[in-house]
Structure formats: C-alpha cells, structure tokens
Amino acid sequence: MKQPMISLSSPHMGGKEMHYIQQTFDANWVAPSGMNVDGLEADLTAFLDEEVHVAVLSSGTAALHLSLIMLGVEPGDYVICQSLTFSASANPIAYMGATPLFVDSEKETWNLCPDAVEEAILYGIEQGKKPKAIIAVALYGMSYQVDEIRALSEKYDIPVIEDSAEALGSTYKNQKCGTFGDFSVLSFNGNKIITTSGGGALVLKDPAYKKQAVFLSTQAKDDAPHYEHTHIGYNYRMSNICAGIGRGQMEVLADRVAQRRANNARYQKLFANQPHFTLHLEPNEDFFSNHWLSVVTVSEYSKLSADQIRLLAQEENIETRPIWKPMHLQPVFAEAPYFGANFAEQCFNTGLCLPSGSNLTAEDWERIERFFNKIFSLA
C-alpha cells in the first residue's frame, strides 16, 4: 500500500483562525475590508516594525503590481528583476507593458548579484531608459544582500521593490524582511510560511502610499456620493474572511519560523559528511532565514542527479521539487535581456527543494531520512 504523501509545504493552522472568521459572520461583515483586515494590518505592523504601514491585499502578485503602478511604470520602461524566482515576481512587469531586465544571482544568498544589477542599470541608461525599479527577491526565505542593493539604489536613484513573499520571519542584520524596500511585498498563499488561503500585503514607509494602495485596491472610488473615478481601479483588497485566517496565523508565526528552522537543522545533520550534497545555508551572521524551504544542491560527481532523486522520491510519495526555473530561460520571457553569468541556471540544474512543512511528523521524518540514507548509498 502506498504511504501518504509528504508535501513540500502545506498549510498549517494554529487553532484560532475559526474564532476570527466566526467574528466576521457574527457581525455579518463577510466582505472586503472590516475588522480582521484592520486587525491583520496592525498585527503585521507590530511584528515587522512600528514605523511601517501595511495594506493587506488579495495576493502578493497584486502587491507587486500595485508597486509598479504607484512607481509610475509605463509601457516600454525597464524594470530590473531577479531571474531566479517564481514567475509572480516578474509577471507584473508584463502587466504594465514594461520590459524586464533579468539579473543573475550571487552564490551566497542566491539573490540579486550586485555587479550584474549595475550592468543592467548601465545598459538601461545607455539606451536612454534608466530602469524604473529593482525587484529584489528573498528566495526561499534568505534575504538578499540588502546593503549592496541599497547602495546601488541610492547611487542611481532607483527604488527597490522587495519581494519577501517567501521571507516573512527572516531578518538581515536583525531587521525584519519586508521592511527593506521602498515597497515591500509579502504573500500568504497556501504554500507560504503562514497562509490566508490566498493573500498578500504591501509594506510601505509612507502613510500616503498606504492610502493610495487602499484606494487603488478598492476600485479607485473618489470622494463623492456617487461612484466617481479619476483613476483606473483594481479589486485587490483582502477579504475580511481571509484576514481572519491571517490573524490566527500571526499568533503562531514565531512557532512556524522555529519549526522550519528546526527542519533545516535536521537536514544539516542528515547531509553532514555527504560530499555530493550541499545544503543552502545562511552565508554569515547577518542573515537569519525562516528557511521557508530547505534546499540542497547535488554535485556533478554524484551518480544520481537532482532530477533522478526527485523521481525516486516521488515513487515513495515524498514530494521534492526543482529550484525555480530562471525567468530568462522561460519561453514567455525569451526576448528579455539578461545580465550576469550562469549561476541561476546552475542552481536550477542541480538544486532540489526538500519537504519543509512546519507540520512534518516523526513518521514523515523517518521516511525522509530512510529515503536519503538509501540515496547516499547510491549517489
């Protein structure tokens, strides 16, 4: 008989979610906006930094899209974006009719390579089109090199959109991810470290931007008794129900971070002294990752490739997954310029995301460890 599926990352409720949802039913406030929307925004501000302003939205993708809109990106503009990421980081550039300039990753964090970013900026300037924004991703929970990217942003006066969809609970130099960008993006999709089933947030430094984000995400209704519109609006606000799930999840966020980091520690033990396997770890003490997903790379000298290992795991109903396929290798972005070498591609070819849920059981771990011990004898 087939064993139950061990997922890469599945939703993990804390227990209080239904309580917050019940409140919305009791108040008959089953709508976008409402007390849980306000409550979740307050919870996020309290968690991230009292100085920030949070607008909760229908998705992280919506938060990225609104960032580009508020930055005034226009058709034909250039926007710099990390290539090694999920497509949602880059798709909003296409929604705007703008052109992504994709950039390779550096080896320590797997995020934006500062040298390649500067190359992309200079390319844009040479074409008479200085890039309008830099989308910097904190991949798998690991912060990007914030100081280096910030220095480039200041040198060339280009705002940073921080895509921390995967990095809620991570820090860089003791500051929370989600507070580094001019605009910062979080996601509460079903597979993320906490979930609202689907949802996201835009984290802003300026209350005027929060006001604008709420305005645009609720159909851009001007102040009038009838519906008056001077702007194109979007239906991007988070629902009060989803926000209720989020309020319950915020109560267990610290536990979820601890659990995912404990997974990573367990993988460190498992892969210790395995010359063909390298776990992706924080490069130094400036970085604290939530280890949303634990990720390993397989050496070229291993008899089994990452993909062969993935297929063997699948036979045992253990889910693993390749690293995000870089955007510059995606057919849909084939025309977009690319800057850097082939590190992102190398990660894609040799990497494997491991089961990383905060709800893995002792039996799940037994199966995972038994599976990899078998792989070690074959690799």
CB of 178 to ligand PLP, least distance (A): 12
Residue with nearest beta carbon to ligand PLP: 60
Instruction: Decide: is 137 part of the binding site for ligand PLP (CB under 6 A).
Output: yes
Maximum separation of any 2 CA atoms in the chain, in Å:
72
CB of 118 to ligand PLP, least distance (A): 22
> What is the spatial distance between Cα 379 and Cα 367, in angstroms, rounded to a whole number?
18
End-to-end CA distance of the chain, in Å? 27
Give the residue with the Cβ less far from ligand PLP, 59 or 346.
59
CB of 187 to ligand PLP, least distance (A): 3
Q: How many residues sit close enough to ligand PLP to count as binding (CB under 6 A)?
A: 14
Residue of 311, 312, 317 whose CA lies nearest to 4? 317
**Total residue count of the chain as it appears in this document:** 379
Report yes or no: 310 and 320 within 8 Å, Cβ to Cβ.
Answer: yes
Give the residue with the Cβ less far from ligand PLP, 67 or 302.
67
Give the residue with the Cβ less far from ligand PLP, 59 or 67.
59
CB of 190 to ligand PLP, least distance (A): 8
- Tracing tokens 């390319």 back to the chain, one arrives at 123
Please give the structure tokens belonging to residue 222. Answer: 């001007």
CB of 89 to ligand PLP, least distance (A): 5
Query: One symbol per residue from 26 to 45: x for binding ligand PLP (CB under 6 A), - otherwise; what is it?
Result: --------------------
Among positions 299-338, residues that touch ligand PLP (CB under 6 A) are none
Query: One symbol per residue from 60 to 99: x for binding ligand PLP (CB under 6 A), - otherwise; what is it?
Result: xx-----------------------xx-xx----------
- Tracing tokens 């480039």 back to the chain, one arrives at 152
CB of 30 to ligand PLP, least distance (A): 21
Task: Indicate which single residue of 39, 200, 248, 355 sits in contact with ligand PLP (rule: CB under 6 A).
Answer: 200
> What is the spatial distance between Cα 199 and Cα 108, in angstroms, rounded to a whole number?
30
Which residues are registered as beta bridge partners of 171?
Answer: 176, 288
> What is the spatial distance between Cα 59 and Cα 209, in angstroms, rounded to a whole number?
18
Judged by CB under 6 A, the stretch of 160-168, 207-215, 228-236, 299-307 that binds ligand PLP is 160-168
Give the residue with the Cβ less far from ligand PLP, 204 or 353.
353
Give the residue with the Cβ less far from ligand PLP, 200 or 271.
200
CA angle 218-221-225, nearest 5°? 135
* Cα atoms in the Cβ-side hemisphere of radius 13 Å centred on 218: 19
Give the residue with the Cβ less far from ligand PLP, 240 or 302.
240
The helix, strand and coil proportions of the chain, stated in percent and rounded to the nearest 5, come to 40, 15, 45
Give the residue with the Cβ less far from ligand PLP, 73 or 375.
73
In the chain, the amino acid numbered 139 is L
130 exposed, middle or buried (CB, 10 Å; 0-12, 13-18, 19+)? middle
DSSP assignment letter at 133: -
3-state secondary structure of 157: coil
Query: One symbol per residue from 162 to 191: x for binding ligand PLP (CB under 6 A), - otherwise; what is it?
Result: -x-xx--------------------x-x--
Query: One symbol per residue from 278 to 297: x for binding ligand PLP (CB under 6 A), - otherwise; what is it?
Result: --------------------
CB of 60 to ligand PLP, least distance (A): 3
CB of 90 to ligand PLP, least distance (A): 9
Give the residue with the Cβ less far from ligand PLP, 333 or 372.
333
In angstroms, what CA-CA distances link 211 with 65, 146, 214, 227, 246?
16, 27, 5, 18, 21
- Tracing tokens 């005027």 back to the chain, one arrives at 208
> What is the spatial distance between Cα 111 and Cα 220, in angstroms, rounded to a whole number?
35
Q: In whole angstroms, what separates CA 262 from the centre of its chain?
A: 20
Judged by CB under 6 A, the stretch of 55-63, 112-120, 240-248, 307-315 that binds ligand PLP is 55-63
Q: Using CB under 6 A, list all residues that contact ligand PLP.
A: 59-61, 85-86, 88-89, 137, 163, 165-166, 187, 189, 200
